[in-house]
Amino acid sequence: MAHYLNIRQLFLSVFMIILVLFTFDGPLFGTEELFSALRGAQVIVFAMAAWALATENSRVQRVVSLATFAGVSSVAIIRFSPG
C-alpha cells in the first residue's frame, strides 16, 4: 500500500486522462455515438478516480480501487460482448 500511495497521483492522473481519451475513441473511429449508455459509467469511474486523487485516506483508496476495478471490468464486458 505504501508504494501505491507514493505513485497515487501519477497513476490516477494518467488513468483519468485515459478515461477522457476513451470517451472520444468511439466517435472518432465511428464505432459509437458520443453520448452512449456507457458514458454514465465512465463519469462514475472518473469521479471515483478524482475522489481518490483528492484524499490520502487508505480506506477510501481501497474502496475506490475495488469499485473502479469492478466498474471498468463491467463496462469492458458490456462494451466488447457480441450483440
| Domain ranges, ordered by start, for the chain | 2-80
- pLDDT for the residue numbered 14: 92
User: Please, which residues have CB within 8 angstroms of residue 62's CB and are 6 or more apart in sequence?
Assistant: none
On the question of pLDDT at 83 being above 70, the answer is no
Residues 6+ apart with CB under 8 A from 19: 42, 45, 46, 49
pLDDT in tens, 28-64: 777 777 777 777 878 888 898 999 999 988 898 889 8
What is the chain's mean pLDDT, rounded?
Answer: 83
